[in-house]
Amino acid sequence: MLKKLRKSSGDRAIVGVCGGIAEFFGISSFVVRLIFLLTISVSLWVYLVLSWALDDSYLLRQK
């Protein structure tokens, strides 16, 4: 089955985007957050777009 990128419901600091990316790629959310902080000028815009565009994984579990 094809894995889909979603916001994390369990590993969230703000809205779960970094946690969702970490779950999708199978890496530590700490690494994703560190990369985010080191590239803040670009990643902030990407984060805002993804927080709006990605589905919430906890909403899918309720259906």
* Domain residue limits at 51: 17-62
- Residue 17, both tokens: 């985007």
| Cα–Cα nearest to 10, from 47, 58, 53, 52 | 58
pTM: 0.73
pLDDT at 54: 85
Beta pairing partners, 7: 56
Number of domains in the chain: 1
Rg value, the chain, Cα: 12
Instruction: Answer yes or no: is 2 within a domain.
Output: no
Q: Quick check: is 28 in a domain?
A: yes
pLDDT tens track for 8-54: 989 989 899 999 999 999 999 999 999 999 998 888 898 899 888 88
d(CA 61, CA 37): 30
CA–CA–CA angle 57, 21, 4 (5° rounding)? 50
Domain membership flag for residue 29: yes
